[in-house]
A and B are shown apart, each in its own frame.
Chain A
Amino acid sequence: MKISERAEEILETLWGHSGEEKQGAVDVGLTKGNPDVEELISLGYVKLMNEKISLTEKGKSEGQKIVRRHRLAERLFTDVLDVKKKLVHPVSCQFEHLLHEGIEDNICILLGHPKTCPHGRPIPEGECCRKSEESINKIISSLDNLRVGQKGKVAYLHTHNHKRLQKIMAMGILPGMTVSLIQKFPSYVLQIGNSQFAIDRDIASAIHVLLTK
């Protein structure tokens, strides 16, 4: 039951509209009678009501998967293949259609389950991400998931709160610096260089480290 590339693009756009930008149904407008839209309707991914088009539950989950593939592709091109910035988006647009079940997870694992695309938008979680969150021997872990005594190099900082990011940077916690966790309760205490900082869970969860032992 594979759908066409054009139909996938429509699902992707719709998911962006309803899922991320929190907008309701979209006016059908010019796409009325378009074979791709018709295809989606007949497969039950979208529904048409009062000249407005919106995603069904099935469509939502499919749309999310397509967005995930697209953003993973962007990560792959930017981080691993070092593709020029201007090309990342168009190339990813084509590539996403090739990444089907299984392959996307492999790429996700290869990239260390990234949380955002190069443009800073979130990458929806896949099955592999959930599994890796649970497994104990993760390679990259957020600081609040470390065990006391574990040590690692800061891999990246991930937070949407700009102020919080600034605080973390002010403490000198930046990618490449070695940190170790001294205590988890009642506050997180970490050692960086020869100084110690106490931080709360919100801050600790934004710091992701590459474990060294």
Chain B
Amino acid sequence: MGLVKKIFDKFRSNSSCCGEGSKMNKSHDLCKIAIVGSPNVGKSVIFGCLTGTYVTVSNYPGTTVEVIRGKAKIGETEFEVIDTPGMYAFLSITEEEKVARNILMEESPDVILHVVDSKNLERMLPLTLQLLEADLPLILVLNIVDEAQSLGMKIDLNVLGKELKVPVVATVGTTGKGMDILKGKIEAFVQSGACNRRLREVQNLLSVSPLEVKLPQQAARTIRHKDTTDIFQMGLETIELLLKKDYGVSKRSMALLLLQEDADIVAKVRSDEPQVFDELCRITEEVKSFCHEPVSYVVSLQRQQEASRICRVSVEYSPQGKLPFRERLSRLMIDPITGLPILLLILYYGLYKFVGEFGAGTVVDFIETDIFEKNINPWIIGIFGTVIPWKVLRDLFVGEYGMLTLGIRYAVALILPIVTTFFIAFAVIEDTGYLPRLALLIDRLFKKIGLTGRAVIPMVLGLGCDTMATMVTRTLPTKRERIIATLLLALAIPCSAQLGVILSLLEGNPIGLWVWLGVLSLVFLLVGFLSSMVLPGEAPSFYMEIPPLRLPKVSNVLIKTLTRVQWYFAEIFPMFILASVLIWLGQLTGLFAFCVRLLEHPMRWIGLPDKAAVAFLFGFFRRDYGVAGLYDLKQSGLLSGNQVVVACVALTLFLPCVAQFLMNVKERGLRAGMLMSVFVLFISFAVAFLVNLAFVSFGIKL
């Protein structure tokens, strides 16, 4: 009986929403749910609730830069759920917005969840209207409804649903409130067949005469252009008649995007339907010449008026008079007079005390000395000594640079505690919503180096892992900013592993620490400034949403740290093993000794002992691996105070690790990636040389 029902359900769900599967070139039979919405409204949280899998969730716009897919079972049907980066409007500005729009246009999802921040309904409804214009199968999700309620907002879901003619659900993603209702609505939606665009289109076509091309109800209502009506309306209708291909969204939506001259859409139509392209351009020009303002402005204004009207009838709002505590705290954070001390406090306690002293000091000491040196190493060396009689082979595992005694020890004893503590601190900071506030404080400074305050997020994340941060540079709006940010990440931002080891290397040498910090900041600003001079393109402008301050949830902090540490380890662990194997091979063939001798020359130029060459050779695999090598050198008393500082400067600026190099190539192209590496290598030695020269000429002893 149950089996029959299942088969029946499957059949029904197939016929209702996936019947067009073969036509749409779908790879499999699953129905698709796409989650879209403005940045920082909790799309990823909803995704997590539906699929039961965790994706990184933070309190700032632009956390999700890639499309994330998962599976969810709702009722008896299995769905593929797609989480998309945030988009403010259908007319796209940034790369992520294009990514999100492409999902809607090319994958023709069966259900689209438009997630909005309830307290900003009026500002977010225009996107809902745009999705409706595009004739997409929509469910409106009013998320974070608890914050709206505490502000004194009451939203009438029935009225809102009637106005928009779509299902509306109120949820609180972080507590899971309203998720059952959402799932119920999705189920009902799919069963009603409302999600089948083809079906709706056919119905629409049948209901009107074939000559009269269908205008979706909602679209016709939202685009009532009073003053420019005739020409505008005629322009839209003519374009709709010209377009023959199915672009995954309604012809009305395409016509609007074409009139607003969206570069991607124009290019797409030009390549897909070249025969009508000239005519389209002519119409666009004509409509433009009749509008006093840019077309996108006229259209947005109309939509906003409709959105405001809908809000007036569906929302009751009685604002509270007093500023809530979190708002007062926020004001303190963004005022430079109080904001700067707050920043220093966060850096001191979060980075220096927690990551530096606790992570890189206490925890590393414990694991390194008490666990590895006293227990594991002797034990393992003993075992291998009896099991493997050949010294050559034994060295591969437990020799000076052995896989177990060096590779795994570095990874577990040094890197793991540091990276973990950094990611915990970072997760707490990002979940409070502090980062956008830091961005607005620092915008003026970053403008000088060709970036905007927005770039502060990849930069701070870079202190955790530069590879991850390079991926996040996608949130920057122009190519010029992305190139500068990538270069600075590769050059002057030490990742947490490096940072931790450096902090413990310079422990007890506060002046050395300041020198290192000063040199790095100088290089950062100078290289940024010069590249902003050299690179073509106009100066960027800064705008960023400032989310409310929120108390971080312990579970989210922990699970986020865990996923990041896992990702990090999967990325670096093979590198450590590979390095050990390569060095072992190099030692056997004599190549290792050759390379070390080769590197000894630049070592002498920058005033370091020959032995440091080994650390730098490691640095080619990973910068932190190199710094960890220095750590060993310092422990054995081979480095003076000056030499530690010079070596730290050189290795911080040194070539990025292989993972970051690959990411640079992936994001910026092979040529740019190679050029950056050569540049970085040159700068690192040049700066170290200068620092050493300054030490020698001024007779400074640290």
Chain A interface (Cβ < 8 Å from any Cβ of B): 78, 85, 118-120, 157, 162-172, 174-177, 182-183, 185-187, 189, 192-200, 202-203
In the bound complex, what is the Cα–Cα distance between A6 and B274 (angstroms)? 48
Query: Is there a chain A Cβ closer than 8 Å to B594's Cβ?
Result: no
In this complex, what residue of A is CB-closest to B261?
Answer: A162
Given contacts A187-B440, A189-B546, A193-B120, 9 further A-B contacts (CB under 8 A): A164-B541, A165-B296, A171-B123, A172-B120, A172-B126, A193-B122, A195-B117, A197-B544, A200-B452
CB distance from A104 to the nearest CB of B (A): 21
A169/B296 contact (C-beta < 8 A), A175-B301, A176-B305, A197-B543 known = yes
In the bound complex, what is the Cα–Cα distance between A164 and B478 (angstroms)? 13
Is the beta-carbon distance between A200 and B447 smaller than 8 angstroms? yes
CB distance from A136 to the nearest CB of B (A): 23
CB distance from B301 to the nearest CB of A (A): 6
Q: What bracket does the count of chain B residues touching chain A fall in?
A: 35 or more
In this complex, what residue of A is CB-closest to B447?
Answer: A200
Interface residues of B in 416-462 (CB under 8 A from A): 436, 439-444, 447, 452-453
Chain A residues with CB below 8 A from B336, complex form: 185-186
Is the beta-carbon distance between A197 and B304 smaller than 8 angstroms? no
CB distance from A8 to the nearest CB of B (A): 25
In the bound complex, what is the Cα–Cα distance between A172 and B119 (angstroms)? 14
Interface residues of B in 519-565 (CB under 8 A from A): 541-547
CB distance from A176 to the nearest CB of B (A): 7
Give the contacting residue for B546; candidates A169, A196, A202; CB below 8 A. A196
Give the contacting residue for A174; candidates B294, B304, B444; CB below 8 A. B304
In the bound complex, what is the Cα–Cα distance between A186 and B444 (angstroms)? 7
Query: Is there a chain A Cβ closer than 8 Å to B8's Cβ?
Result: no
In the bound complex, what is the Cα–Cα distance between A53 and B684 (angstroms)? 62
In the bound complex, what is the Cα–Cα distance between A120 and B298 (angstroms)? 14
A200/B541 contact (C-beta < 8 A), A169-B300, A183-B335 known = yes
Is the beta-carbon distance between B297 and A187 smaller than 8 angstroms? no
Is the beta-carbon distance between B91 and A166 smaller than 8 angstroms? yes
Is the beta-carbon distance between B543 and A203 smaller than 8 angstroms? yes
CB distance from A175 to the nearest CB of B (A): 6
Is the beta-carbon distance between B440 and A194 smaller than 8 angstroms? no
Query: Is there a chain A Cβ closer than 8 Å to B292's Cβ?
Result: yes
Is the beta-carbon distance between B331 and A171 smaller than 8 angstroms? no
Is the beta-carbon distance between B305 and A120 smaller than 8 angstroms? no
Give the contacting residue for B542; candidates A120, A183, A185, A198; CB below 8 A. A198
Is the beta-carbon distance between B543 and A199 smaller than 8 angstroms? yes
Is the beta-carbon distance between A189 and B541 smaller than 8 angstroms? no
CB distance from B548 to the nearest CB of A (A): 8
CB-defined interface of B317-345 with A at 8 Å, one 1/0 digit per residue? 00000000000000100111000000000
Is the beta-carbon distance between B93 and A170 smaller than 8 angstroms? yes
In the bound complex, what is the Cα–Cα distance between A157 and B305 (angstroms)? 16
CB distance from A213 to the nearest CB of B (A): 15
CB distance from A145 to the nearest CB of B (A): 18
Is the beta-carbon distance between A198 and B151 smaller than 8 angstroms? no
A203/B304 contact (C-beta < 8 A), A189-B334, A198-B443 known = no
Query: Is there a chain A Cβ closer than 8 Å to B408's Cβ?
Result: no
CB distance from B436 to the nearest CB of A (A): 7
Give the contacting residue for B151; candidates A194, A199, A200; CB below 8 A. A194
Chain A residues with CB below 8 A from B93, complex form: 163, 166-167, 170
A119/B334 contact (C-beta < 8 A), A187-B440, A203-B542 known = no
Is the beta-carbon distance between A187 and B89 smaller than 8 angstroms? no
Chain A residues with CB below 8 A from B441, complex form: 186-187
Q: Which of A166, A177, A183, A185 has the most CB of B within 10 A?
A: A166
The 9 nearest A-B residue pairs measured at CB? A198-B440, A172-B123, A170-B88, A194-B119, A187-B440, A196-B546, A200-B542, A174-B304, A169-B300
CB-defined interface of B86-126 with A at 8 Å, one 1/0 digit per residue? 00110101000000000000000000000001011011101
CB distance from B633 to the nearest CB of A (A): 43
Q: Could you list some 27 contacts between A and B, CB below 8 A?
A: A118-B292, A119-B292, A162-B296, A164-B541, A167-B541, A167-B543, A168-B543, A169-B300, A170-B93, A171-B545, A174-B301, A176-B301, A176-B304, A177-B308, A183-B334, A186-B441, A186-B443, A187-B441, A193-B120, A194-B119, A195-B120, A195-B123, A195-B545, A198-B334, A198-B546, A200-B541, A203-B542
Chain A residues with CB below 8 A from B334, complex form: 182-183, 189, 198
In the bound complex, what is the Cα–Cα distance between A66 and B297 (angstroms)? 30
Give the contacting residue for A182; candidates B120, B293, B331; CB below 8 A. B331
Chain A residues with CB below 8 A from B331, complex form: 182-183
In the bound complex, what is the Cα–Cα distance between A168 and B301 (angstroms)? 12
Is the beta-carbon distance between B543 and A198 smaller than 8 angstroms? yes
In the bound complex, what is the Cα–Cα distance between A85 and B547 (angstroms)? 44
Is the beta-carbon distance between B545 and A199 smaller than 8 angstroms? no
Chain A residues with CB below 8 A from B439, complex form: 198
Chain A residues with CB below 8 A from B124, complex form: 172
Is the beta-carbon distance between B300 and A198 smaller than 8 angstroms? no
